[in-house]
Amino acid sequence: MNNNCRLEAIERAICEHLNELKKSDIDSNLYSAVEYALQGGGKRVRPMLMLLSAEMFNLDTDIIMPYAIALECIHTYSLIHDDLPAMDDDDIRRGRLTVHKVYGEAMAILAGDKLENMAYEILFSVIKNKGEIRAAGYLAECAGKMVNGQAREMSLIDADCNTISIDDILNIYNDKTTALIRCAIMVPYYVSSAKVNAKQEGNLLKVAHNIGTIFQLVDDMLDTESGVDDGKLTYVNNFGLQKTQQFVALLEDEINTTLSKLDLNTEDLMQYASELTARRI
Ligand code: GRG
């Protein structure tokens, strides 16, 4: 399967879930807000990573797709809530009005809540065996970490820049952004746990962690370049562009060293990860 096919499969599955939701007894405004958010032109990075990881473990797309959609639902809810006036207070996301600007703040909160619930409904509808329960539990744990990362960031917002350490920022990234990226790569491992060597877990986790950290660092660099970071607490703002680029290179080196220890065909996953590093949006 190539990336276009993977993306088409993800979009098809999202459409199917939206069709089911529309047929249910859902308030029409709530449905519209959820649809607006889910069909908003996101890159689908997390479901893509999950499909690519699943292929390394020879899992069928049909088996992993519900987890991939559940993860995208969690990601989408986090963006809706992140844009709210009480959080980042953003009017524009992906080049169009944010959910609360179109549907109002209350409906945006509810749309986020609905997406979060949808994620768990999807998971509960598929989990059967031990590995799948572990995978769903891991997804819930990562979604909780994301919320924790946001809270950590908020508590440092008014801190003096000079008192903020690299560890403070990396701890925020580790939870806020990296947790869902890690989740995308680790969930297929847990789903297929009966078939794989458990020793691979630590190495896979390291690769997943580094890909997630690079993803956030690249996001920071793009924000700085386009002038939209308005003095936010980021690695680039605190330590400069050069140090950030050096750190990305170091994380890439670590990925390559760790990959050689994984007895898996990681080629497609790594190709996609390097496209993410080179991305311009
Ligand atoms: C308020 C209970 C409650 C929870 C909210 C807001 C929040 C918790 C977490 C925010 C997490 C967050 C927004 C992290 C930013 C991560 C990031 C780089 C997002 C952008 O991801 P992309 O580029 O987005 O994959 P697209 O648009 O492509 O989907």
Summarised one tens digit per residue, pLDDT across range 7-19 is 999 999 999 999 9
Q: Which two tokens stand for residue 249?
A: 């290179």
Q: Is residue 265 classed as helix, strand or coil in its secondary structure? A: coil
User: What is the model's pLDDT at position 213?
Assistant: 97
User: Is the Cβ–Cβ distance between 185 and 53 less than 8 Å?
Assistant: yes
User: Is the Cβ–Cβ distance between 53 and 122 less than 8 Å?
Assistant: no
Q: Is residue 93 classed as helix, strand or coil in its secondary structure? A: strand
User: Is the Cβ–Cβ distance between 74 and 146 less than 8 Å?
Assistant: yes
Q: Is residue 128 classed as helix, strand or coil in its secondary structure? A: coil
- Looking at the CA of residue 81, tell me the nearest atom of ligand 1: 6
User: Is the Cβ–Cβ distance between 180 and 215 less than 8 Å?
Assistant: no
Its pTM stands at 0.95
Task: State if residue 145 touches ligand 1 by the CB under 6 angstroms criterion.
Answer: no
User: What is the model's pLDDT at position 138?
Assistant: 97
Show the low-confidence residues of the chain (pLDDT under 50). none
Distance 79 CA to ligand 1 centre (A): 4
User: Is the Cβ–Cβ distance between 242 and 224 less than 8 Å?
Assistant: no
The residue whose CA has the least distance to atom 26 of ligand 1 is 42
- Looking at the CA of residue 76, tell me the nearest atom of ligand 1: 29
Task: State if residue 43 touches ligand 1 by the CB under 6 angstroms criterion.
Answer: yes
User: Is the Cβ–Cβ distance between 272 and 52 less than 8 Å?
Assistant: yes
Task: State if residue 42 touches ligand 1 by the CB under 6 angstroms criterion.
Answer: yes
User: What is the model's pLDDT at position 194?
Assistant: 60
User: What is the model's pLDDT at position 222?
Assistant: 93
Q: Compute the distance between CA of residue 205 and CA of residue 207 in angstroms, rounded to an integer.
A: 5
The residue whose CA has the least distance to atom 17 of ligand 1 is 177
Task: State if residue 88 touches ligand 1 by the CB under 6 angstroms criterion.
Answer: no
**Main-chain dihedrals φ then ψ at residue 96, nearest 5 degrees:** -140, 170
Q: Compute the distance between CA of residue 215 and CA of residue 173 in angstroms, rounded to an integer.
A: 10
User: Is the Cβ–Cβ distance between 167 and 235 less than 8 Å?
Assistant: no
List pLDDT tens digits, range 123-178: 999 999 999 999 999 999 999 999 999 999 999 887 777 788 899 999 999 999 99
Distance 151 CA to ligand 1 centre (A): 13
Distance 23 CA to ligand 1 centre (A): 28
The residue to mutate among 76, 150, 224, 235, having the most atoms of ligand 1 within 8 angstroms of its beta carbon, is 150
Query: What sections of 57-177 are H helices per DSSP?
Result: 61-83, 99-103, 105-126, 130-156, 166-176
Say how many CA atoms lie within 13 Å of 109 toward its Cβ.
Answer: 5
